A and B are shown apart, each in its own frame.
Chain A
Amino acid sequence: MDIKLKIWRQEGPKSEGSFVDYNLTGVSKDMSFLEMLDFLNKKLIENGDDPVVFEHDCREGICGSCALFINGRPHGPDDLVTTCELRMTKFNDGDTIVIEPWRAKSFPVIKDLVADRHAFDKIMEAGGFISVNTGSAPEANSIPVPREKADEAFDAAVCIGCGACVAACKNSSAMLFVAAKVSHLALLPQGRAESGKRARAMLAKMDELGFGSCTNTGACEAECPKGISLAHIARLNREFLKEGFRS
């Protein structure tokens, strides 16, 4: 099939970017979205043009590298998938596809479709850990964890930190990301002790880095490729409030 692409091209962090149109012929429905971009880049390189820069790594939806805003939605038109899991079967012959990077003050564009998501690492460094030496892998049954808690913690732990929540939020808030990390650790015995302090520290870093505040619109949950629930944001708020005026 033949498609029209409207892709954001930007030379560097300080340059002005703009959309460039490409007509791509011979696209197969069997391709993944990223294979379609590889196909475009191959043609660009053959013509001596600069290939489009985009992030990717595992291409199986678990690393969180790929992050494209496709036709007005993070990770494109399909629900519960990352960009790399998006297939060209979701598009038709003659379609125009608009591709942009994540846009947020805290995620500055480095080049073309790549936004710098180091801000997430900084939030993790502020409190997304357990501050004891865990040593080597413990015996699995030495600390019993109720099944439902373990399941809920796992539902939060599936966050791959792709940043779709920030990209989707009208306030560019990172609440769903922070909530997933805080919730994951707060539900397990090892992380429970520091949960209030952790929530406070990670939220302070989130605010400091210029992410917006949450207005509970639910856009993040709807766009999260891992289906992380707003209930985790409620838990994050709970942990924050329980910490009270202590810190």
Chain B
Amino acid sequence: MSSFLNASVGRKFLVSISGLFLITFLAVHLAVNLFLLAGQEAYNMAAHFMATNPAIKIMEPALALGFLLHIVVSAYLTVTNQGTRPQKYSMVDQRKTSSWPSRNMFVLGLLILIFLALHLSNFWYKMKFGGVAYIEYDGVQVQDAYTLVTGKFVIWWYALIYVAGAVFLRLHLLHGFQSAFQTLGLSNQLWYKRLTVIGTVYALIIAAGFAIIPVWFLAGTFLN
């Protein structure tokens, strides 16, 4: 056990599986968010379903653990890697040999983390610890998350932050998706190309899906 987790590849394994877990979470999160486009009742009921579903209740701490593991282990590996070239090259040309996101995963991760802190304080904290009005549908009291969320997205700079968050996420996934499978050894010359394509499409769907929501509500304020 210790030789597994002491090895760099063993630690990368943790980053990889937690990354794949977070990748799956993103799809679920986006699916729920898209109910925002279907109107107030649809979204509030979807949010209510997520908040009361026992499976989701179990997954919530697992998700927090997944984030923690992904952030802590990758930060540790990044810091360790900093000392491996004490004397830098005077001239280095990496543009042709590796992609920008692949070289800047830590920076992108940090930007996403900052976004995440803001995002949690905007919505999650308020939904979890009160401050959200209740609304009744067919005798069921549910939180009016719709008004809370759309109230933020009509403010142009909030919308801009959320679009920026989606862009950072896209760049992070562009490398992260393919890289997670490579670390697990689930790749070869053929699958490397396939996973790169699948990852590129997935990153685009996730980013465009998340970005379209604030843009939709902001555009709505101009049209009304």
The chain A residues found within 8 Å of chain B, CB to CB, are 6, 19, 69, 71-73, 98, 100, 103-106, 109, 168, 170-173, 200, 203-204, 206-207, 210-219, 222-223, 229-231, 233-241, 244-245, 247
Contacts and interface: CB of A to CB of B under 8 A. Distances in A.
Interface in B86-140: 86-94, 96-99, 102-103, 105
20 contacts: A71-B91, A73-B97, A100-B89, A100-B91, A105-B85, A170-B98, A171-B81, A204-B3, A212-B84, A213-B81, A216-B175, A216-B183, A217-B97, A222-B97, A222-B98, A231-B189, A236-B9, A237-B12, A238-B184, A245-B4
A170 B105 CA distance: 12
B187 interface: yes
Contacts, number: 141
Contact of A237 (B80, B87, B99, B182): B182
Given A172-B85, A235-B188, A241-B184, 18 more contacts: A72-B92, A100-B90, A103-B89, A104-B84, A104-B85, A170-B103, A171-B84, A204-B6, A213-B9, A214-B9, A216-B183, A217-B98, A229-B189, A230-B187, A231-B188, A240-B7, A240-B10, A241-B185
Interface of A is mostly: mixed
Contacts of B85: 103-105, 172
B4 A72 contact: no
Contacts of A231: 187-189, 192
B89 to A, nearest CB: 6
Given A71-B91, A203-B7, A213 B80 contact: yes
A100 B87 CA distance: 11
A218 to B, nearest CB: 5
Contact of A216 (B10, B83, B89, B178): B178
Nearest to B182: A216
Contacts of A203: 7-9
A217 B182 contact: no
B189 A204 contact: no
A179 to B, nearest CB: 11
Given A203-B7, A247-B3, A218 B89 contact: no
A72 B9 contact: no
B179 interface: yes
B155 interface: no
Interface in B177-222: 178-179, 182-189, 192
Given A231-B192, A237-B9, A245-B1, A215 B86 contact: no
